[in-house]
Amino acid sequence: MTVRNLFLLPGDGIGPEAMAEVRKIIAYLNEAKGTGFVLDEGLVGGVAYDAHGSAVSEEDMAKALAADAVLFGAVGGPKWDAVPYEVRPEAGLLRLRKDLKLFANLRPAICYPALAAASSLKPELVEGLDILIVRELTGGVYFGEPKEIIDLGNGQKRGIDTQVYDTYEIERIAGVAFELARTRQNRVCSMEKRNVMKSGVLWNQVVTETHKAKYSDVQLEHMLADAGGMQLVRQPKQFDVIVTDNLFGDMLSDVAAMLTGSLGMLPSASLGAPDAKTGKRKALYEPVHGSAPDIAGKGIANPIAMIASFAMCLRYSFNLVTEADNLEKAIANVLDKGIRTGDIMAEGCKQVGTVEMGEAILAEFKAIS
Ligand code: NAI
Ligand code: MG
């Protein structure tokens, strides 16, 4: 039987509450579908600091590296605001991203029909929206050298960040975008600013060459990133997969996120390079939201972002596409029935807590799968 190793890092605040609902779904999949998930669990963030004084232990790092996929909840909270910078809760997540070499950040923006009215755009512009933003996560202006503030000596200082991209970095992120597009509507829009940036010129060239060499079956379009931002709020449904750099991706994915409603709904995946021997990618799946200290422990957090992150895990790490589709369908059906947590509550709907929402989705998932 296939063994699929999952390493769970629930973390702080609402992280463990949301993760508990995913565990129920995994247990069901193992029982009913023989998926063979084997779970191990570690500490990350504030709870790890409390236990052993660092944001993630070496032992847990080794487990994360060995697992087929990592499911991550959330880290942080006011309790740890004063801990030293190097061991603050967020350091655990940064270490994981760095050591697992997660260079591709996938942020879907899906608008569930039942929530279209909650968007900041007109419902007809977002109903049925399904975009995937593929953001380069380990290069670009956030990491390029030099990166410093220098004193010019005349009462002036100079802040410097450097946008750097090498061919291989652009090739591999473009490859991820093209491969994912093949599993969707087969369309990629690449965004850069080649009109004013040399790295943008190179980005455009390398994406074009990668497309020509290996992915010419996929429809490719190029757009300047500022125009892309405009199009995202003007006519968002024109996009399927968007591939872009670290900085533009940071902004464009937050814009796209707000087209779809609450933070409690948004999943993400971060992928590494395929292993030379097995072809498997390192991967970490996490909700976009944080630990929500204001509602932690109250049993009212929306578990959908975490559950939808697990759906991405089923799809991208294990190729369990039908199960992933059904889980997303189960979420949509539960929302259609008017079942809502407080953050997405609307008139005429039934307000439930974390556990009831998780169980409603599981019941629906069982019914359709
Ligand atoms: P947050 O995402 O934790 O919360 C922002 C607001 O959204 C809060 O009012 C919260 O109650 C609400 N919210 C978030 N997720 C929700 C859910 N699933 N259901 C219902 N309501 C939800 O961001 P905030 O407040 O800026 O940060 C809180 C802590 O989380 C900080 O320590 C921050 O550093 C950390 N953080 C961690 C992240 C991670 O682990 N990847 C990401 C963002 C923040
Ligand atoms: Mg951001």
pLDDT at 138 over 90: yes
What is the structure's pLDDT at 275? 84
Q: Chain-wide mean pLDDT for the chain?
A: 95
Q: What is the DSSP string of 177-202?
A: HHHHHHTTTSEEEEEE-TTT-HHHHH
Mean pLDDT, residues 70-86 taken together: 95
Q: What is the pLDDT of residues 319-334, one digit of tens each?
A: 999 999 999 999 999 9
Q: What is the DSSP string of 284-308?
A: EEEESS---TTTTTTT----HHHHH
pLDDT attached to residue 365: 98
User: Is the pLDDT score of 40 beyond 90?
Assistant: yes
Say which residue, 263 or 314, is predicted with more confidence: 314
Amino acid at 42: G
Q: Is the pLDDT of residue 312 over 90?
A: yes
Of the chain, the percentage scoring pLDDT greater than 70 comes to 100
Ligand 2 centroid distance, CA of 178 (Å): 23
Say what the pLDDT of residue 362 is: 98
**Angle 321-336/354-368 helices, nearest 10 degrees?**
120
Under the banding of pLDDT at 50, 70 and 90, the label for residue 144 is very high
Tokens found for residue 12: 């702080």
| Ligand 2 centroid from CA 210, angstroms | 28
When pLDDT is cut at 50, 70 and 90, the band that residue 361 belongs to is very high
For ligand 1, atom 33, the nearest C-alpha belongs to: 76
Which residue from 297, 298, 290, 325 is spatially nearest to 311, judged by alpha carbons?
A: 325
Q: Which helix (H) or strand (E) holds 199?
A: helix 198-214
Helix (H) or strand (E) holding 107: strand 104-110
Q: Annotated active-site positions, please?
A: 142, 193, 226, 250, 254
- Write down the pLDDT at residue 21: 98
Asked whether the beta carbons of 207 and 243 are under 8 A apart, the reply is yes
What span, in angstroms and rounded, lies between the C-alpha atoms of 185 and 183? 7
Please state, in angstroms and rounded to a whole number, the distance separating the CA atoms of residues 247 and 316.
24
Does 198 belong to an annotated binding site? no
Q: How far is the CA of 293 from the centre of ligand 1 (A)?
A: 7
Residue 192 has pLDDT above 90, yes or no: yes
Are the CB atoms for 163 and 141 separated by under 8 Å?
Answer: yes
Better pLDDT: 274 or 96: 96
343 labeled binding residue: no
Q: Identify whether the C-beta of residue 264 lies closer than 8 Å to the C-beta of residue 17.
A: no
Among all bound ligands, the one having the nearest atom to the CA of 257 is 2
- pLDDT given at position 59: 98
Distance CA 20, CA 155 (A): 56
Pull the structure tokens for residue 191: 């965004």
Tell whether 84 is in a known binding site: yes
pLDDT for residue 104: 98
Task: Please name which of 34, 103, 108 lies closest in space to residue 309, comparing C-alpha atoms.
Answer: 108
- Of 349, 101, 141, 96, nearest to 245 by C-alpha is 141
HSE, side-chain direction, 13 A CA sphere, residue 180 = 28
Residues lining ligand 1, Cβ inside 6 A: 14, 74-77, 90, 93, 263-264, 286, 289-295, 301-302, 305, 343
Q: Does the annotation flag 321 for ligand binding? A: no
Query: Among 98-107, 108-117, 214-223, where is mean pLDDT lowest?
Result: 108-117
Which single residue is written with the structure tokens 């670009």? 140
Nearest CA to ligand 1 atom 23: 290
Q: Residue range 158-177: average pLDDT? A: 97
Place of tokens 């009215």: 117
CA–CA distance, 307 with 175 (Å, rounded to integer): 27
**pLDDT at res. 177:** 98
- Looking at the predicted structure, is the pLDDT value of residue 119 above 90? no
pLDDT for res 49: 97
Q: What's the pLDDT band for 278 if we cut at 50, 70, 90?
A: confident
> Is residue 77 a contact partner of residue 13, using CB atoms and an 8 Å limit?
yes
User: Six-digit token pair at 149?
Assistant: 């503030």
Tell me what ipTM this predicted complex has: 0.98
pLDDT at site 364: 98
For ligand 2, the distance from its centroid to the CA atom of residue 358, given in whole angstroms, is 27
Query: Which of 17, 79, 286, 291 best tests ligand 1's pocket when mutated (most atoms within 8 Å of CB)?
Result: 291
Q: Which atom of ligand 1 is nearest to the CA of 286?
A: 41
